[in-house]
Structure 1
C-alpha cells in the first residue's frame, strides 16, 4: 500500500525487501537495512552507489516495513528541497524512520546544511532511525559545515554495486514469477541487448510487456517483445 509522505512523495508499490536483489556483495547491506527497519540493528546507515543499484528500493522497502506495523515514516528525495529552504527538514518530531534519498542532489546551502545537521542530531536524541542515500560517498559531498560531515559517518557506510548481466536476468525471472508468468532466458537476453540496462528500467519494461501480453493474449516471446518495442 502506498503511503503519502512529505512534499507529495509517494512510496512505490512493490518496493519491499523480498523484491530486492542484492547480487553477490549486497547481502550484508540488505540485512543491515532490514535490521534498522525492524529496530534490531543500526540506527543510521548511509548507502551510496551508481544509479540503478537499488538505493531507493532499500530506502522505500524500509519505509514500507516500518509503516506496516503502524510506525511513522518520512521519505524525501533531497533533490526536491531546492527552493524549499530549511523548513522542509523541520517538524518531523515523532517520526520513527526518516529516509533521505539523493543527498548528492541536495542544494548545499548554509541554512539547509544546518537544518540537516539539526535533523540528524534530533533523530539520534529521540531514538529514531535514519537512512541516507547518495550516488557519492559521504566524504565526496560538498559539505561546508564540518560538524555535518562527521554526522554522516555516525553509522555504517555501504556501497552498492551494479548487478552483472546474469544477476539482472535472475532478478527479471524472479519478478516475472511473482507476476505469474515464466520469462525465458532468450527474452531476458534480448531485453538486455535492446533496452536501458539498469535494473529499475528493465523491471519497468518487463511489467509493461506483461500488460501488453495479457491484453494481446500472447506469450512473452522474442518476436512479441520486438513487435512491442518497435511500436507495432
Structure 2
C-alpha cells in the first residue's frame, strides 16, 4: 500500500474536471456519487480508456473532502496493509497482479468488509474473464461494473488540443493529423508523446511543428530538418 501523495494531485493532475467522458458518462456519474461503504466498483476496458484517470480523479476528490486514500497496483511492494481508518481503496490494473498481490488484494477485500471502506478497481476485462484467483474474481465482480470505451477521434482531438493549450502549445492540424494517423489511438500514449514533444520543443527553442516532431521521432538534430519559419 502507498498513501496517495499530495504531489500527485498538483497540476496536471487527472481530475473529474479534465476527464472527457465520451461514451463513459454512466460510469462518471456513478463515481461522482460514490459514498463511503458503498459496494466495490470495477472499471474495465482497454488501455487508454481512462481507467487510471478516473482512479486519480477519485483520489483528488476524496482528498479534498478530507478522506483517506490508499493506492495499490502491480508496482506497489508487498505487504499491502489496510489503512487504520475507513478509506478509499484503489486497485489499479488488477490483471497485472502476481500471485502474491492477488492474495493481498483478496485480503484487503476481506479485512475491509463492513468496516466503512470503499473499493474501486480497474482491469482490462470484466471480472468473469480475468485470469486471477477465483476468490478475488468473485469480489471484483460483486458490485457495479462499468465498461469504459476509448474516446472517438473527435473527442481525442479535443483532449489533445486541451492539453496543448494547458501547456501553452500551438497544436496545428498538421501535427495533430500525424499523431492520430501514425500512432495507436491510445490517449494515454498520445498524451505522453505530447509531453515528450513539449520538452523537445523547449530544449530546441522551437515551435511545435511537424518537422520538429519528425526530428524527435528520428532522434536526429533539429538542424537536419526544415527550419521553422516562425522563429
Classify the TM-score, shorter chain.
0.7 to 0.9
Gap regions ≥5 residues in structure 1: none
Partner of 1:14 in structure 2?
13
Aligned residues between the structures: 217
Equivalent residue in structure 1 for 2:159, among 162, 171, 182: 171
Alignment of 1:78-93 (within 5 A): 79-80=74-75, 84=78, 87-88=79-80, 90-93=81-84
Counterpart secondary structure, 2:66: coil
The CA deviation string for residues 143-197 of structure 1, in whole angstroms up to 9 with x for no partner, is 5445x44432332100111222332211101111222233222211111233343
Partner of 1:101 in structure 2?
92
Partner of 2:128 in structure 1?
139
Deviation >6 Å, runs of 4+: none
Q: Is this contact kept in 2: 1:81–1:106, CA < 8 A?
A: no
Matched, 1:74 2:33: no
Q: CA deviation at 1:26?
A: 0.8
User: Using the alignment, how far apart are the partners of 1:219 and 1:149 within structure 2?
Assistant: 49
Equivalent residue in structure 2 for 1:192, among 176, 180, 192: 180
TM-score, scaled to structure 1: 0.79
Counterpart secondary structure, 1:17: coil
Partner of 1:125 in structure 2?
114
Counterpart secondary structure, 1:63: helix
User: Using the alignment, how far apart are the partners of 2:106 and 2:200 within structure 1?
Assistant: 48
Counterpart secondary structure, 2:17: helix
TM-score, scaled to structure 2: 0.79
Counterpart secondary structure, 1:99: strand
Counterpart secondary structure, 2:122: strand
Q: Is this contact kept in 2: 1:74–1:95, CA < 8 A?
A: no
Across the aligned residues of Structure 1 and Structure 2, the Cα RMSD in angstroms comes to: 2.9
Counterpart secondary structure, 1:136: coil
Q: Is this contact kept in 1: 2:20–2:159, CA < 8 A?
A: yes
Equivalent residue in structure 1 for 2:146, among 158, 169, 172: 158
The CA deviation string for residues 8-65 of structure 1, in whole angstroms up to 9 with x for no partner, is 9x84752212222222x111112222322xx389542101111121111111221122
User: Using the alignment, how far apart are the partners of 1:120 and 1:142 within structure 2?
Assistant: 18
Matched, 1:5 2:11: no
Matched, 1:210 2:198: yes
Q: Is this contact kept in 2: 1:81–1:107, CA < 8 A?
A: no
